[in-house]
Structure 1
Amino acid sequence: MSNTETHPTELKCGEAPGEPSVVEILTARQVPLGGPRAMPVRRTLPQRARSLIGAWCFADHYGPDDVGSTGGMDVAPHPHTGLQTVSWLFSGEIEHRDSLGSHAFVRPGELNLMTGGHGIAHSEVSTPDTTVLHGVQLWVALPDEHRATARDFQHYVPTPVPLDGGQARVFLGTLAGDTSPVRTFTPLLGAELSVAPGVTLTLDVDPDFEHGLLVDTGDVRLNGTTIEPAALGYTAPGHRALTITNDGPSPARLVLLGGPPFGEEIIMWWNFIGRTHEDIVQAREDWMAGSRFGEVRGYDGAPLPAPELPNTPLKPRGRAR
């Protein structure tokens, strides 16, 4: 997915300090995304309060979106550098095309992971049969030693893992005895969780990881702290278990993210991740010149132009608190 903001803010991102016992609540801001009537998405990462959870650096949560009213998703070819994109749906279907030559469909319960590395371009369009579009789009920052790696695309369908009063679909990393085979460049956890009404789950987790729990539906508490739908609850490293309670009358649906604190600072601007102002400038120049990123074939329309860079050099906005 593209960051379609016309005046994207550059962010210098790094891990923020936190106490293991505290659940920090990150609320979402609404951002319009593509489509003739601008489908809205709820963005919880990045933000000034916290820009990274492990290597997870971007989280858009959208839907349930009535495609008949909004026009759905239609994101023209656009570039990425220095990151991996993680597409995960709850309902609907998205057609993916990229400059590697991949032509795939994002469907509920199926992971599509694209590695941008040195540079890739892709398009994302909800299919004609989609009536309701609902899911998340996530980005993972690549460590400096791998951020110029070759472009790649992986598809994986995790088998649901039963929990005591719920279920997990582990699309990245390890949880509840299940391990995803999908390759990442830093240790990560990514899983969709469902929790039955009135149930409390205790999940063993890696104490070296920080975690983020994004609530899609349900009256949810994480370690006793309430997280409203569309918000994300953060816990610092130090936990060996997470306790998740669904106090509501309906099943809760959640996305659990995790990883060790990312030991590098990154600059994010538009769809690029770099380390310096010059990295971003070069990536933008290459995209506008039609070099480096390759061509997306099969999309009916022109690529997205890059926004104008600010008049002053991209500078860090400071570390998260």
Structure 2
Amino acid sequence: MSNLDRQAALSVCGGRGFVVAEPVRELLSPRRVQLGESTVVRRLLPNLGRRMVGAWAFVDHYGPDDIADEPGMQVPPHPHMGLQTVSWLHDGEVLHRDSTGGLATIRPRELGLMTSGRAISHSEESPKPHARFLQGAQLWVALPDEHRNVEPHFQHHTDLPTVTAPGLSATVILGELAGAASPGTTYTPIVGADLALTSGAELNLPLDPDFEYAVLAMSGEAHVDGVPVLPGSMLYLGCGRTELPLRAESDAGLVLLGGEPFEEEIVMWWNFVGRSHEEIEHARTDWMTGSRFGEVKGYDGGPLAAPELPPVALKPRGRVR
């Protein structure tokens, strides 16, 4: 669950000053980024228009990619701090290794949840052999200050609760939806849910009006609050909603992301979430000198080198540009 952009930019996110307090329909377009040797992702957060949705601070969508004759995902060991990573697949498998000894093959609609806390490193790769197609979402959750130095740990949940309605099967990834709660550990009020819609489905999904929300389109053709959302795009919805109208023009897959607006301002650069430029700089030094982040054992290859920090002063801009 990584950001391999060699031109990684420092940004300040969070704070309630720029949260949209009423319902909106703000369509976010992706930026294409190379991930590892052969995977290209569509980056939705951070975005030119918006940096966070609740505590969700990073959203990539990838696939479906035909990797029958390709190595698939190959991301060498790299560090994280101050965040949780969520691996979410619709097709294929990802083999996860981390510096705490965590080892798991994550499959479609299973939760791979890594809490970096103060420091962790991990690798991600398509196993050998692997399925023909690879498609999924890579998500980060920012940890609040009181929990961002917790012990690093990894959770793999293969049996997640579901919510059903005519034309809908919703898998609860994190948090709670319509009374069903995920077993994944959370540190802020948050929700993530995978929404599988059948063609012709039309319904209203119950929401918490205190949360801000966005919907990531994974596959198919669906209308979210009347807005057509195509695969690889995301619709920001603001706050103040008690329900969300959904209509499927074909079988469709969506991911609902939401949470209470994140009060703290965070500094995010490369694979680190901190609170100051100096903290990020210190983390980069620790990674490059082999300190603090531990060792990923079993990966066939060396670790990633961190990009250079940009030679610019950090300018806080809040949750939106």
Query: TM bucket by the smaller chain?
Result: over 0.9
The answer on whether the counterparts of 2:119 and 2:293 sit within 8 Å (CA) in structure 1 is yes
- Report what 1:169 is aligned to: 171
| Greater shift in the superposed pair: 77-86 or 167-176 | 167-176
- For 2:108, the aligned partner's letter is P
Q: CA deviation at 1:132?
A: 0.9
Q: CA deviation at 1:160?
A: 3.5
Q: SS of the residue aligned with 2:6?
A: coil
The answer on whether the counterparts of 2:19 and 2:261 sit within 8 Å (CA) in structure 1 is no
| Structure 2 residue 279 is the aligned partner of structure 1 residue 279 | yes
- For 1:195, the aligned partner's letter is L
Name the CA shift for 1:17/1:25 in 2 (closer, same or farther; >3 Å).
Answer: same
- Report what 1:148 is aligned to: 149
Gaps of at least 5 residues in structure 1 are none
Q: SS of the residue aligned with 2:245?
A: strand
Q: CA deviation at 1:219?
A: 2.1
- Report what 1:311 is aligned to: 311
- For 2:63, the aligned partner's letter is G
| Structure 2 residue 312 is the aligned partner of structure 1 residue 300 | no
Q: CA deviation at 1:311?
A: 2.4
Q: Distance in 1 between matches of 2:60 and 2:318?
A: 23
- For 1:306, the aligned partner's letter is A
Q: CA deviation at 1:79?
A: 0.1
Q: Distance in 2 between matches of 1:210 and 1:318?
A: 16
CA RMSD of aligned residues (A): 1.4
Q: CA deviation at 1:2?
A: 1.5
The answer on whether the counterparts of 1:33 and 1:40 sit within 8 Å (CA) in structure 2 is yes
- For 1:168, the aligned partner's letter is A
- For 1:94, the aligned partner's letter is V
| Greater shift in the superposed pair: 157-166 or 138-147 | 157-166
1:229-272 per-position Cα deviation (integer Å, ceiling 9, x unaligned): 211111111111111111x2x31101111101000111111000
Q: Distance in 2 between matches of 1:313 and 1:287?
A: 22
How many residues are matched?
317
The answer on whether the counterparts of 1:39 and 1:71 sit within 8 Å (CA) in structure 2 is no
| Greater shift in the superposed pair: 282-291 or 128-137 | 128-137
- Report what 2:200 is aligned to: 198
The answer on whether the counterparts of 1:87 and 1:137 sit within 8 Å (CA) in structure 2 is yes
Q: SS of the residue aligned with 1:24?
A: strand
Q: Distance in 2 between matches of 1:164 and 1:306?
A: 48
Q: Distance in 2 between matches of 1:266 and 1:21?
A: 25
1:147-190 per-position Cα deviation (integer Å, ceiling 9, x unaligned): 11110111112144322211011111111331112111101111
Q: Percent identity among equivalent residues?
A: 52
Q: Which portions of structure 1, spanning 4 or more consecutive aligned residues, are displaced by more than 4 angstroms?
A: none
- Report what 1:81 is aligned to: 81
The answer on whether the counterparts of 1:195 and 1:201 sit within 8 Å (CA) in structure 2 is no
Q: Distance in 2 between matches of 1:208 and 1:69?
A: 47
Q: SS of the residue aligned with 1:85?
A: strand
The answer on whether the counterparts of 1:39 and 1:70 sit within 8 Å (CA) in structure 2 is no
Q: SS of the residue aligned with 1:145?
A: helix
The answer on whether the counterparts of 1:39 and 1:72 sit within 8 Å (CA) in structure 2 is yes
Q: CA deviation at 1:19?
A: 5.1
Q: SS of the residue aligned with 1:153?
A: strand
- For 1:206, the aligned partner's letter is D
Q: SS of the residue aligned with 2:63?
A: strand
Q: SS of the residue aligned with 1:235?
A: strand
Q: CA deviation at 1:138?
A: 0.2
Name the CA shift for 1:319/1:159 in 2 (closer, same or farther; >3 Å).
Answer: closer
- For 1:235, the aligned partner's letter is L
The answer on whether the counterparts of 1:45 and 1:59 sit within 8 Å (CA) in structure 2 is yes
- Report what 2:227 is aligned to: 225
Q: CA deviation at 1:305?
A: 0.5
- For 1:169, the aligned partner's letter is T
The answer on whether the counterparts of 1:10 and 1:316 sit within 8 Å (CA) in structure 2 is no
1:18 to 17, 20, 38: 20
1:48-92 per-position Cα deviation (integer Å, ceiling 9, x unaligned): 211000000000100011114553110000000000000010011
- Report what 1:241 is aligned to: 243
Q: Distance in 2 between matches of 1:160 and 1:19?
A: 29
Name the CA shift for 1:19/1:69 in 2 (closer, same or farther; >3 Å).
Answer: farther
Q: SS of the residue aligned with 1:173?
A: strand
- Report what 1:127 is aligned to: 127
Q: Distance in 2 between matches of 1:175 and 1:317?
A: 32
Q: Distance in 1 between matches of 2:166 and 2:311?
A: 55
**Equivalences for 1:205-216 in 2 at 5 Å?**
205-216=207-218
- Report what 1:189 is aligned to: 191
Q: SS of the residue aligned with 1:22?
A: strand
| Greater shift in the superposed pair: 195-204 or 57-66 | 195-204
Q: Distance in 2 between matches of 1:92 and 1:206?
A: 32
The answer on whether the counterparts of 2:265 and 2:318 sit within 8 Å (CA) in structure 1 is no
